[in-house]
Structure formats: C-alpha cells, structure tokens
Structure 1
Amino acid sequence: MNQPLFRRRAELAVKLVLLAIFLGAGAAFALLVGLADAYEAVGEPQAQPIPFSHKHHVGDIGLDCRFCHTTVEKTAFPGMPATQTCLTCHSQLFAQQGILAALRKSEAENRPLAWKRVHFLPDFVYFDHSIHVAKGVACAECHGRVDQMPLAWKAEKLEMGWCLACHRDPAPHLHPHDQVFAMPADPLAEADARLLAESLKLQSTRRLTDCSTCHR
C-alpha cells in the first residue's frame, strides 16, 4: 500500500506555516498602510463629508474648540461634532444650501456624519488629549493655526522625535489654561514658562520620556 507523500502531522505543519505566511503578509500590508496614513504629507487638506471651514468658524466667528470637540478636556479622544451640534446653528442658517446636504441626510437617516481624521497616529502610539490640555499644551502646538485653515490639514508630521523633543523640554510649549484654546496661544516668557512647568510638576521629564508613556 502506497504511503502518502506527507504524513498527517507534516501536512498540518505545512498548512500552519502557509497560514502564518498569509496572515503575516496581511499584517505587514496593514501596518504599511497605517504608517502611510500616519506620515501623509503635511499641509494637504483632508476632504470631509461637509467642507467645514475652521477659518470661518474659529477665525472669523470665534467658535471655541470645545463647542465641537466636547470631550477634549475629559478623555483621550477629543470627540467629533454630532449632527445635532451642527444643527444648533444650521437648522436656521443656510439650512437648505446644497453644501449642507450631507447634514440633512444625516439627520433624516439618524446616522452620524462620517468625519475623516486629519491627525492620525498608529495603533501602537497612545495619546491622551485631556492630559495635554490639563498641563497647558495649547491646541495650536500640535494642530497649528486651524483658524487660518479653510479645510483642516496636518500641521506637523507627529513623528516620535518631534513628540520627544517636547517631552524632554515641555516648558516652551506650555500656556496658562485660559490660552490653551486660543488662536494663537500667547507664548509665556521663559522664566514664567519654567515656573508653570514646575507648578504642573513637569520639571522632571523622566516619566515623560519613559517608553511606556506612549507605547502601552
């Protein structure tokens, strides 16, 4: 009686190896796509379901960041504007304009607007908006002058070295709490910035530069 070319265990081993290669290739592709998104070109406006102008809403009208990003002081994620947030004004203002068709559809179908993220970090990087806000890091430090952006774009590459430079010497990037959401945020004199860092217990940067702070 002829013996099979591979015994059952050998066949199972080959199948597992092939499966691992297949899954590994898929994971590598996903990682490359994620990294490409993370390091997309700075200064390129991101298309949105509604062409929301930060320049108009923040720069011209003076809308506070927290009106739309409601959880920025409480959680890691700043929050994105819900349909009802937009309708606070646009149920009356320009309500029937074509530019707001996606907003009307969102309300009619009871589905949230699919806003696209502009500032993307890979899954292996942890970032908490609330702690940065609490420590006096102004929005403009990372997001740039959004009050001058007709459509939002990435202002910084958000690379590891850029983040570490701030974590090693946070004082120059700190602001009084009443300036955190200002555009632009008024810089402090160096001596005042050092005093603010001390009052916020940021004079020691050992914990800030520990790997586990951002990679959890």
Structure 2
Amino acid sequence: MQIFRPGADTIARVLLASCGAIPVLLVGLAYGIMSSPYATGENVTPNQPIPFSHEHHVGGLGLDCRYCHTSVEKARFAGLPPTETCMTCHSQLWTNAKMLAPVRASLAQHKPIAWQRVNRLPDYVYFDHSIHVAKGVGCTTCHGPIGQMRLTRPAAPLTMQWCIDCHRAPEKALRPRDEVFDPKWSLPKKQEELGRKLMAEYHIRVDHLTDCSVCHR
C-alpha cells in the first residue's frame, strides 16, 4: 500500500531547500533595505525653515563654501552660518522677502535658525572634515553636485562600506588642495594617476585607513 503520493518526495526536497534558502534571502533583504535610500536618506530632501539654494548662492553667485562653513578647515564640523552671516547681504538685498522672514526673526529674537541636518552619521562614528579637506577630498566628493542643488539633499549613502571603499582606494577621489572647494571640479581622465601622485605628496598611507579606531573612537 502506497502511503505517500508520487510527488511527495519532490515536495519534501523543495521544503528542505526552502529551509536553507529563506534565512539567506531574509538576510539579503535586510541588507538591501539597510543600504537603500529608504534607510540612508540618500537623495531625500529634508524640510528647512528657509528654502536656501546652493544653486543660487554657490553655483550662481560663486560664494566660497568657507564663507558660510567657516570651521571646515580646522574642526570636525564644517559649521553652520550664524544669522549675522545671512544678514551681511540680506540687510541690503531682498529685505522684505517673505521667505526670509525666519532670518529676520532670528536676528531680532537672538535665536539661531533651526536648520535640519542634511548629512547625518551615527553617534558612534568619528568624522573630521578638516583632515579630509587637508588631504585633498573635495566637498562634492561626499556632498555631490552641491552647486546645482536648489534644495540641499544627501548625495551619498554615507554607509560604512561607502567610506571603506574610499579609504581603500583614495586615489580615485583626491584632487589638488586648491580645487577642494570648487563645486565645478570634475575627475580628469587620468584621475588614478593624479591620485597616486597626490597620495605621495599628502603622505597618505592606506595600510591603517581601514583600522576600526580610525572611525570608531
């Protein structure tokens, strides 16, 4: 007497294979979600109290990044401009513009503008703007085509893998120091050749750049 149907063996094999495949698929799905823009916030534009346009101020007027981000060359944080920096121009230009009302209120009330952070790293990650700038890493390398952004958005995932890829092969991104703040700078055809030359000039060694203590202190 036959207890199992002829296809039972096939069904059993499929079920056994599924038991092994499903955990792998779930791990892959979780990894995909965590590295997706949904989790990293890449290309997601946060709401700001003022619709500040880098396209206008940087790409159009040609303001240097350091005019607003004054500590980028000497500190971990690039810094946000105080209201007085905004009012250097806007006490004379667009003085009654409705969109600039929060700027005028900030100055009158002596309260800083509540900007929303665009690029955010976990608290357990150590990142120093000054060392990257000093070693020839340009603003657009991490922040994307900032001079073309009407509203600022994250242009890179800023994941651990993304950072490690650059630390393993910095020659792919390095540029001359006098080009670091140029939003229109683009990679030359022989970038890796230039990058290796700059690595030697800037005394960059990759043998320790992926040590845990470099980013986790």
> Matches of 1:119 and 1:39 in 2, distance apart?
13
Say how many residue pairs are matched.
181
Aligned amino acid, residue 179 of structure 1: E
**TM-score normalized with structure 1 length:** 0.80
| Cα offset, 1:36, TM superposition | 11
Q: Quote how far apart the aligned CAs of 1:178 are.
A: 1.1
Q: Could you give the per-residue CA deviations for residues 106-147 of structure 1, whole angstroms, max 9, x where no partner exists?
A: 011011111111000000000000000000000000000011
Q: Report deviation, 1:37.
A: 11
CA distance in structure 1 between the partners assigned to 2:62 and 2:77 by the alignment: 23
Shift of 1:162: 0.5
> What 5-or-longer segments of structure 1 have no aligned partner?
1-34
Pair 1:195-2:181 in alignment = no
Q: CA deviation at 1:183?
A: 1.3
Determine whether 1:208 maps to 2:186: no
Q: Is the 8 A contact 2:70 2:79 kept in 1?
A: yes
1:160 corresponds to: 160
Shift, 1:206, TM fit: 1.9
Mapped partners of 1:49, 1:196: distance in 2: 40
Instruction: Quote the residue 1:62 is aligned against.
Output: 62
Matching of residue 46 in structure 1 with residue 46 in structure 2:
yes
1:156 partner SS: coil
Alpha-carbon offset, residue 63 of structure 1: 0.8
The one-letter code sitting in structure 2 at the alignment partner of 1:152 is: T
Unaligned runs of 5+ in 2: 1-34
Q: 8 Å contact 1:75–1:129 — kept in the other structure?
A: yes
User: TM-score scaled by structure 2?
Assistant: 0.80
User: Structure 1 residue 185: deviation in Å?
Assistant: 2.0
- What is the DSSP-based 3-state SS (H/G/I as helix, E as strand, rest coil) of the residue aligned with 2:84? helix
Q: Could you report, residue by residue, the CA deviation over 1:143-202 in whole angstroms, capped at 9, with x for unpaired residues?
A: 000111110001011000010000001011101011101112232533222111111111
Residue 71 (structure 1) aligns with: 71
* Residue of structure 2 in register with 1:145 after alignment: 145
Q: Which residue of 1 aligns with 2:102?
A: 102
| Whole-angstrom CA distance in 1 between matches of 2:74 and 2:38 | 24
Contact kept, 8 Å, 2:168 with 2:206, in 1: the verdict is yes
Task: Compute the RMSD of aligned alpha carbons.
Answer: 1.8
Match of 2:130 in 1: 130
Q: Distance in 2 between matches of 1:132 and 1:161?
A: 17
Deviations 1:36-85 (A, max 9, x none): 99944321212111110011111111111101100000000000010000
Paired AA for residue 51 in structure 2: P
- Secondary structure at the aligned position of 2:150 is classed as coil
Opposite residue 214 of structure 2, the aligned amino acid is T
Q: Which amino acid aligns with 2:174?
A: L
Inter-partner Cα distance in structure 1 for 2:79 and 2:59: 20
Alpha-carbon contact 1:46-1:116 (below 8 Å) kept: yes
Identity of aligned residues (%): 51
The answer as to 2:82 corresponding to 1:82 is: yes
